[in-house]
Amino acid sequence: MQWFGRSFAFARLIAAFTRIPGWLLSPRASAGARARERAFFRQIVSGFGIAPDIRGKISTVPGTLFVANHISWADIPLLAGLLDADFVAKSDIARWPILGALARRYGPIFVDRSRRHGVRDQAAAIRDRLARGRSVILFAEGTTTDGSAVLPFRSSLFEAADAARAVQPVALRYLNVDGSPLAPERQRAIAWIGDDGLLGGAGRVAEAPTRASIAFLHEIDMQPGIGRKALADAARRAIVAAYAAAPNRPR
């Protein structure tokens, strides 16, 4: 059954890649290109047996900063299939074979978190996107977890939030299809941590159907003069509260 799931998922992945020529022929960042991108990512999510369960109201304000916790590689196609927004992504993704070229075409904001002195430039790049009315997705933990807890948020890139017209926390969780919590081994299989390879991680996700809970929480009240650390703490508290209130939170 596991191998069938993996084979089906990778067959759907190949099918999704047939959308790429039309995407590449569309003017970059055009409405047509963005629509094809979202369809591409939704097909990947479906092919890997992930059923999105969307809660709350998604901000439609141009220049929204979406702040999410980070568990799996699947977080990216899930949010990319829902939101017309740019990701803040690790710079090493740009060097991946094939996928790196596609990522560069998608136009994320690449950051190198190992360069402490580059944070100001990175925040400036995010601020520029927000100021131009592009929404941005930030995985604020700066790394992935197994979903059993939410790590402290790195506040450095929240410096760019002064250009955001709205800041909306997003709580991501993975559950069994019936909404019950995952067993610890399945929870770890879905997570993408440390040296986990992309193909291996993708194969593990495809071993069983999964529900992805995506809760769009209330936008943060952007009071005048709110600092980046206070904003990061407010976003994290909202996501932690959503976890605590969930009837089927991870064990």
pTM of the entire predicted model: 0.85
pLDDT above 70 (res 50): yes
pLDDT above 80 (res 53): yes
pLDDT classification of 41: cutoffs 50, 70, 90: confident
Q: What is the pLDDT of residue 3?
A: 46
pLDDT classification of 214: cutoffs 50, 70, 90: very high
pLDDT greater at residue 28 or residue 98 = 28
Q: Are 45 and 12 in contact (CB under 8 A)?
A: no
Question: Measured between alpha carbons, how far is 196 from 240 in angstroms, rounded to an integer?
Answer: 25
Per-range mean pLDDT, top range of 3-12, 25-34, 242-251? 25-34
Helices 31-47, 2-17: inter-axial angle, 10-degree rounding:
170
Q: What is the mean pLDDT of residues 89-108?
A: 66
Q: What is the mean pLDDT of residues 156-171?
A: 94
pLDDT above 90 (res 64): yes
Question: Measured between alpha carbons, how far is 231 from 221 in angstroms, rounded to an integer?
Answer: 9
Question: Measured between alpha carbons, how far is 98 from 5 in angstroms, rounded to an integer?
Answer: 24
Q: Spell out where the chain has E strands.
A: 50-56, 64-68, 85-90, 109-111, 135-139, 166-175, 210-216
Q: What is the pLDDT of residue 54?
A: 96
Q: 88: which 2 tokens? A: 């803040």
Q: Are 169 and 239 in contact (CB under 8 A)?
A: yes
pLDDT above 50 (res 17): yes
Q: What is the pLDDT of residues 119-129, one digit of tens each?
A: 888 899 999 99
pLDDT greater at residue 8 or residue 187 = 187
Q: 59: which 2 tokens? A: 């901000």
Q: What is the pLDDT of residue 250?
A: 44
